[in-house]
Amino acid sequence: MASSPERPTKAYKNLDFLTSRDGRSLRILSEYLEPLARFRRYRVEDTIVFFGSARIVEQSQAKTELRAARAALREAKRPSRRLKDAVSAAQTRAKLCRYYDEAVELARLLTEWSKSLKGSKHRFLVCSGGGPGIMEAANRGAAEARGRTVGLGISLPYEQTGNPYISRELEFEFHYFFMRKFWFVYLAKALVVFPGGFGTMDELFEILTLFQTGKGGKRMPVVLYGEEFWNEVLDLKALVRWGTISEDDLQLLHPSSTPEDAFEFLKSELTRLYLEPA
């Protein structure tokens, strides 16, 4: 008796097609529709996004690394430039670790406040890029306040995402940077930018450009956290002097150096813009 012929695979189950060049538009669309469905299911109304370096560690880890680097330098019979550079790098990481602790505290304050708001939807959830460093600190502060917290991860070859403090139901892993950026901005009602590198700068200036040009579609307070760091690495007043931005553009940013100051500013602005009757 002849066996029945194998039935063809349905297109939406055909992984060879879905992962091919021809299936790219479907993959892009899925990174819009699946997060949208999940945010609706868990009644997430909007977010407060934290950006910052993935390389900033908590205080205990920074101190351990500094002690180890100093011990290696002391024990070396002929101290090398590499060992001296390791001590210097560990000292810098120890100096930066305060920002980890302060991101935890700010996220905790914001989450406790957001949980106190009445309504059927979750407002102003802390959201990060899902990785280590400042991202982890933001999710950790929200988790310590027993609130839901979002992680918008991205598949990168050298960076681990999915820190342990993200609410599992709100943990995402994106393939396309531009779809991840969309979700950062689409739900955000405020932005907090801690010290960081190229990625942090990229996100900061992209959002500033959206709102400078009126394409943001909403009002968004932006906190530039860590005045000691930003005053050294970012001279926006020079852009005013050179005439490439206006003096008014500087009002897009609120500099801050304490969790309490940043919290009071964000609470006041978010209340004024989104909670008080129009």
Give all domains of the chain, ordered by start, each with its CATH number. 32-59+97-275 (3.40.50.450)
Nearest to 137 by CA among 101, 112, 173, 172: 101
Question: Contact, 151 vs 129, CB < 8 A?
Answer: yes
Return the structure tokens found at 113: 């406040």
| pLDDT band with cut points at 50, 70 and 90 for residue 2 | low
Q: Quick one: which of 183, 185, 187, 205 has its CA closest to 196?
A: 205
The 10s digit of each residue's pLDDT in 116-175 is 998 888 999 999 999 999 999 999 999 999 999 999 999 987 776 789 999 999 999 999
CB 108 within 8 A of CB 142: yes
Element (H, E) at 149: strand 149-154
Name the strand (E) or helix (H) holding 47. Answer: strand 47-51
Q: What angle do CA 180, 162, 166 make, to 5 degrees?
A: 90
The neighbour count for residue 145, using CB atoms within 10 Å, is 19
Alpha carbons 141 and 106: distance in angstroms, whole number: 7
Q: Is 77 left (phi over 0), alpha (psi -120 to 50) or beta?
A: alpha
Share the mean pLDDT of the chain.
92
Residue type at 261? Answer: D
Is pLDDT above 60 for 253? yes
Residue type, 96: L
At 101, the pLDDT band (50, 70, 90 cuts) reads very high
The set of residues, in sequence order, having a beta carbon less than 8 Å from that of 259 and lying 6+ positions away, is 102, 105, 106, 109
| The residue count for the chain | 278
Spatial CB neighbours of 99, under 8 Å, sequence gap ≥ 6: 52, 56, 134, 137, 194, 195, 225, 226, 229
Compute the distance between CA of residue 266 and CA of residue 50 in angstroms, rounded to an integer. Answer: 13
* Residues 107 and 139: beta-carbon distance below 8 Å: yes
Element (H, E) at 121: none
CA distance 173 to 171: 7
Question: Which residues are paired to 235 by β-bridges?
Answer: none
Predicted pLDDT of residue 4:
67
The overall longest dimension of the chain from CA atoms, in Å, is 87
Percent of the chain having pLDDT more than 70? 97
Note whether 114 and 124 are within 8 A (CB). Answer: yes
Query: pLDDT for 50-68, tens place per residue?
Result: 999 999 998 888 788 878 8
For residue 72, which of 93, 59, 56, 89 has the smallest C-alpha distance? 89
